[in-house]
Amino acid sequence: MKANAGNFFEDFFVGMQIVHATPKTVTEGDVALYTGLTGSRYALFSADRFAQDCGLESAPIDPLLAFHVIFGKTVTDISLNAVANLGYADGMFVAPVYPGDTLRSVSEVIGIKENSNGKTGVVYVRTSGVNQNDELVLTYVRWVMVKKRDLDAPAPEAVIPELPANVDAENLVAPMMDAEDWDYELAGSPHAYEDYTIGEKIDHYDAFTVEEAEHQIATRLYQNTAKVHFNQHEQAQGRFGKRLVYGGVAISMARSIAFNGLANAAQILAINAGAHANPLFAGDTVYAWSEVIDKADISQGFGALRLRLVATKNLPCTDFPYKDEDGKYLENVILDFDYWTAIPKRG
Amino acid sequence: MKANAGNFFEDFFVGMQIVHATPKTVTEGDVALYTGLTGSRYALFSADRFAQDCGLESAPIDPLLAFHVIFGKTVTDISLNAVANLGYADGMFVAPVYPGDTLRSVSEVIGIKENSNGKTGVVYVRTSGVNQNDELVLTYVRWVMVKKRDLDAPAPEAVIPELPANVDAENLVAPMMDAEDWDYELAGSPHAYEDYTIGEKIDHYDAFTVEEAEHQIATRLYQNTAKVHFNQHEQAQGRFGKRLVYGGVAISMARSIAFNGLANAAQILAINAGAHANPLFAGDTVYAWSEVIDKADISQGFGALRLRLVATKNLPCTDFPYKDEDGKYLENVILDFDYWTAIPKRG
Amino acid sequence: MKANAGNFFEDFFVGMQIVHATPKTVTEGDVALYTGLTGSRYALFSADRFAQDCGLESAPIDPLLAFHVIFGKTVTDISLNAVANLGYADGMFVAPVYPGDTLRSVSEVIGIKENSNGKTGVVYVRTSGVNQNDELVLTYVRWVMVKKRDLDAPAPEAVIPELPANVDAENLVAPMMDAEDWDYELAGSPHAYEDYTIGEKIDHYDAFTVEEAEHQIATRLYQNTAKVHFNQHEQAQGRFGKRLVYGGVAISMARSIAFNGLANAAQILAINAGAHANPLFAGDTVYAWSEVIDKADISQGFGALRLRLVATKNLPCTDFPYKDEDGKYLENVILDFDYWTAIPKRG
């Protein structure tokens, strides 16, 4: 068989190393498409001049674009036969990515556990994205539930990795930028690190309705090959009767919406956790709100905000919709994303 | 409140200066998307080699792309709570924009007048777009009808700016290009300045059906945040029950269609006036026709054509549809755009 | 008439030379859009670093993107009044195209034959795409059935060009690349030239559902102006009641899908023949399979595979659907594309 139908649960083993296909040079073209598809307005990623005023050579790409490109490569090998994307942990953005950089991804299987039904199992992988100089750009862990090809295949010894509940503030890689000349007017908000308080919630007000063409173009740009996003002919017979929007599209739309209230918190430093609480479909309208979970002073110019970014579908976020009394996500909640971001200190 | 819900009528005052957020480096990526979304075929903006044969360093970006980028930044501050975009005047394209240039926008409120209903008012702003060297790229006036937040707020003293009916030909900034080696075959038309006569009308023949994904991607690329273009969940309860297409999308589609008959009139010099006569929705098909309103000799190599560009929805332009007997726009007319363009002289 | 309604059958004559309008500088922006619209994952066109390891200066653009750009320019002059695109032959990719290159197209009419109905005729053209240095990039023949404007116009003397059934392997221009350091892992498949056998069939497994916005953006990016792809208002009254997807979109989607099984066969060397067997519409899901028709050793590092690429709509390719007993294409088959591709030899 020359065509690849993806790995099944029994193909994985702890310690397995996977070099993922199709390195990609990220370009100004990708940045333009990312802006057109997400509406992102963070000045640091939008304007060379703004970035240069922070001491950078030019505008780096949005860390989430790097994340999607690095993640996309892993799908063919890791999650083509996944039933569910269960979670993310310990994600660290280590080095900025500039247009012209070439990204590739490698993964290591760090845990594995067959489910009691004998039909599926959970696979934990640590994925690393590296650039053309073999420098680490991003590393994260995700775990997925994968189907078995052969139900009679024996269950492997269960290995469940120890994962931090969140990235410790001490481990964050502070932005290598000057904050002295940060232009709050051009960035779109007067609010600095000092202005945010733990527990504070922000309704981001804006919203985007997702179209099939939009999420498909985005997901293909990331060279993510998961069939559920692209094949209506097959999905018409599936559980939902329609194509699912890639969870990363929801993350990026929510982060774009979060600009309105977090305009200076452009730089993402770490991904602590993430749950795609309910499926998102074309035609749905995405709203978002944020909560400040924690704060940390990380460098002379920057502080870090730990944020919970919650996105909903077809439900404004005035009342910060989240979970019900039993701790279960409300049905309109599509995303619960826990991350660290850098924001300049007023000093 | 950290999220911005936009300014209301009583927030504006004459002389108010606004620095708009999110500067943007315009790139070859934006140009590609602009081509993909509008189908523009003007050789000057499409091919470096063609532009170099005119003495330029490379292909500048389409002036309308610059306009949309500069306009887009103003929406959050000026028109987020606008009921209607009433008009444009005195728009001048002063310097070319090249991929790599970073654009930002500043506005000054130059007029203000509360409506007699006490619920809304008209705000006049002059917006200037400048590049990374603080050089003026584009300046224009627009006026919008904006809601009051507090109906009891007192009416300000009315100030209505004097605006020219059109940009005087003497004030046009002629293209800094050679026309001697203009290649009419590659440009797509044998027709030079001398071939157009005042009063001449041109049916541009081509047409485009607009899709939701297309106008949303374009409008997000311009970082324009007006909710009416993006939020179907909210618009379903609104006046039209659906999302409105950003008027600038209509202008760009019509200008792309106008290539067929005006292929050598690539460079836009000035915007005299513009009216979005009726709303445009996804699913509508845009047609366009032009009328030569005036002509002016502006440099050794170039003349200027003052053109009326009329776009319709779902109505071919064979008969040049425009206004009814009472001077009211026909219901299929969506755009009435009055502008100056440069076109080489045969000499 | 300043607007161009295209040439009709009686406007063509053998020996006629046409310089097509609107040269285009192909950029990283076009590459990003091409990736977003097709999902292409061939490493050679995706990553500068991969291309540099093959001795190239950077990643060239996908030959099909060059083909669509060069083809698109010809539509206004050749096929605006075409009833059908009948075939391709003798297509040769002669030189690689890099971002920054400016492409233009010229055509010569090499054959002409009026149909017996007196209403239409067949026009054969050889189109050449050249870059900013006037170097030939691509040449191919296509023939189209074009309407007569004046049914009383006399029939021209019939001239039917001699065309090769396929490009001879000896005439293929081998890639000017090193294959020694070809990284099969990064390219996404362990299969080299030696692993493919004549007669072998590959079901490519993946599939894409096409949206109106997607094919319109792609076709406009190629500056292809055929009205059938863009004007729903007119097409609603037409034969199908809807817009037709440009055949080149189908070719590119199928080639993207063919990555899964032909990941190392990135470089297209020649187009032998092509038929758009049935129309493709938005909402259809494209699947694809390939057959190895021939093999040829063409250089120290590379072999050539002659492949038949068949695309279907709404029909998985597990059983390699193609033609019925009478040799007629099955109604779900949309594309039959015969081409040569280069693939590294294991050596």
Closest residue on chain A to B100 (Cα): A48
Q: Is residue B157 part of a domain?
A: yes
What pTM was estimated for this model as a whole? Answer: 0.98
Q: Are B250 and B334 in contact (CB under 8 A)?
A: yes
Q: Would the CB atoms of B213 and A208 count as touching at under 8 Å?
A: no
> What is the least distance, in Å, from the CA of C18 to any CA of chain B?
9
Q: How confident is the model at residue A84 (pLDDT cuts 50, 70, 90)?
A: confident
Residue-number span of the structural domain to which B329 is assigned: 9-344
Chains that touch A (3 or more CB pairs under 8 A): B, C
Q: How confident is the model at residue B186 (pLDDT cuts 50, 70, 90)?
A: very high
pLDDT, tens digit, for every residue of C238-247?
999 999 999 9
A191 vs B contacts (CB less than 8 Å)? 2
Mutate to test the interface with C, among B33, B42, B210, B257 (most CBs of C within 10 A): B33
C33 vs B contacts (CB less than 8 Å)? 32-33, 36
C209 vs A contacts (CB less than 8 Å)? 212, 216, 230-233, 243
Q: Is residue B100 part of a domain?
A: yes
Which is higher by pLDDT, C86 or A128?
Answer: A128
Query: Which of B49, B196, B261 is facing C132, going by the closest CB pair?
Result: B49
- Could you tell me the two tokens for A186? 């051009």
Q: Would the CB atoms of B47 and C218 count as touching at under 8 Å?
A: no
Query: Which of C4, C32, C218 is facing B29, going by the closest CB pair?
Result: C32
A38 vs B contacts (CB less than 8 Å)? 220
The DSSP call for residue B163 is -
Radius of gyration of chain C (CA): 20
Q: Is residue A124 part of a domain?
A: yes
Q: Is the pLDDT of residue A221 over 80?
A: yes
Place of tokens 């999302």: B243
Q: Are C39 and C86 in contact (CB under 8 A)?
A: no
In this prediction, residue C1 carries a pLDDT of 81
Q: Are A31 and A235 in contact (CB under 8 A)?
A: no
Place of tokens 């000054």: B108
Q: Is residue B123 part of a domain?
A: yes
Q: Is the pLDDT of residue C347 over 80?
A: no
In this prediction, residue B226 carries a pLDDT of 93
Which residues contact residue A319 at a Cβ distance below 8 angstroms, ignoring those fewer than 6 apart?
none
pLDDT, tens digit, for every residue of B75-118?
999 999 888 889 999 999 999 999 999 999 999 999 999 999 99
Which residues contact residue C154 at a Cβ distance below 8 angstroms, ignoring those fewer than 6 apart?
none
Question: What 3-state class would DSSP assign to C262?
Answer: helix
Number of domains in chain C: 1
Q: Which helix (H) or strand (E) holds C259?
A: helix C259-262
The DSSP call for residue B234 is H
Mutate to test the interface with A, among C260, C281, C305 (most CBs of A within 10 A): C260
For chain A, percent of residues with pLDDT exceeding 90: 97
- Could you tell me the two tokens for B258? 């106008």
DSSP C13-74: -TT-EEEPS--EE--HHHHHHHHHHH----HHHH-HHHHHHTT-SSPPPPHHHHHHHHHHHH
The closest of C24, C137, C126, C116 to C78, measured between CA atoms, is: C126
Q: Indicate which CATH number applies to the domain containing C18.
A: 3.10.129.10
Query: Which of C36, C187, C209 is facing A230, going by the closest CB pair?
Result: C209
Cβ burial C118-137 (10 Å sphere, 16+ → b, else e):
eebbbbbbbbbbbbbeeeeb
In this prediction, residue C177 carries a pLDDT of 94
Q: Would the CB atoms of B221 and A32 count as touching at under 8 Å?
A: yes
Q: Is residue C37 part of a domain?
A: yes
In this prediction, residue B4 carries a pLDDT of 87
Q: Which helix (H) or strand (E) holds A202?
A: strand A201-203
pLDDT, tens digit, for every residue of A259-280?
999 999 999 999 999 999 999 9
State the Cα–Cα distance between residues C159 and C171, nearest whole angstrom: 25
Strands A136-147 and C201-203: unpaired
Which residues contact residue A220 at a Cβ distance below 8 angstroms, ignoring those fewer than 6 apart?
A230, C35, C36, C37, C38, C39
ipTM above 0.95 for this complex: yes
Query: Which of B32, B211, B261 is facing C3, going by the closest CB pair?
Result: B261
pLDDT, tens digit, for every residue of C135-151?
999 999 999 999 999 99
pLDDT, tens digit, for every residue of C35-85?
999 999 999 999 999 999 999 999 999 999 999 999 999 999 999 989 888
Question: What 3-state class would DSSP assign to C280?
Answer: coil
Q: Is the pLDDT of residue A347 over 80?
A: no
Place of tokens 């590379």: C302
Question: What mean pLDDT value characterizes chain B?
Answer: 97
Q: How confident is the model at residue C216 (pLDDT cuts 50, 70, 90)?
A: very high
Query: Which of A31, A42, A206 is facing B225, going by the closest CB pair?
Result: A206
C249 vs A contacts (CB less than 8 Å)? none
Place of tokens 């991969």: C50
Q: Are B343 and B284 in contact (CB under 8 A)?
A: no
In this prediction, residue A1 carries a pLDDT of 82
CA dihedral C218, C219, C222, C228 (to 10 degrees): 180
C189 vs A contacts (CB less than 8 Å)? 2, 4, 21
The helix-helix angle for A247-257 and A212-221 (nearest 10°) equals 100
In this prediction, residue C84 carries a pLDDT of 86
Q: Is residue C109 part of a domain?
A: yes
Mutate to test the interface with C, among A24, A97, A137, A245 (most CBs of C within 10 A): A24
Q: Is residue A2 part of a domain?
A: no
Q: Would the CB atoms of B41 and C227 count as touching at under 8 Å?
A: no
Query: Which of B206, B213, B262 is facing C225, going by the closest CB pair?
Result: B206
pLDDT, tens digit, for every residue of B111-170?
999 999 999 999 999 999 999 999 999 999 999 999 999 999 999 999 999 999 999 999
C232 vs B contacts (CB less than 8 Å)? 209, 283, 285
Query: Which of C46, C203, C285 is facing A24, going by the closest CB pair?
Result: C46
Q: Would the CB atoms of A231 and C209 count as touching at under 8 Å?
A: yes
Query: Which of B19, B25, B211 is facing A213, going by the closest CB pair?
Result: B211
State the Cα–Cα distance between residues A281 and A232, nearest whole angstrom: 12
Chains that touch B (3 or more CB pairs under 8 A): A, C
Question: What mean pLDDT value characterizes chain C?
Answer: 97
Q: Would the CB atoms of C243 and B209 count as touching at under 8 Å?
A: yes
State the Cα–Cα distance between residues C46 and C11, nearest whole angstrom: 42
State the Cα–Cα distance between residues C289 and C318, nearest whole angstrom: 8
The DSSP call for residue A188 is T
Q: How confident is the model at residue B1 (pLDDT cuts 50, 70, 90)?
A: confident
Cβ burial A213-246 (10 Å sphere, 16+ → b, else e):
bbbbbbbbbbbbbbbbbbbbbbbeeeeeebbbbb
B263 vs C contacts (CB less than 8 Å)? 21
B262 vs C contacts (CB less than 8 Å)? 2
pLDDT, tens digit, for every residue of A89-137?
999 999 999 999 999 999 999 999 999 999 999 999 999 999 999 999 9
Question: What 3-state class would DSSP assign to B53?
Answer: helix
For chain B, percent of residues with pLDDT exceeding 90: 97
In this prediction, residue B159 carries a pLDDT of 98
The closest of B87, B127, B139, B138 to B274, measured between CA atoms, is: B87
Closest residue on chain A to C196 (Cα): A2
Q: Is the pLDDT of residue B347 over 80?
A: no
Q: Is residue C3 part of a domain?
A: no
Q: Is the pLDDT of residue A323 over 80?
A: yes
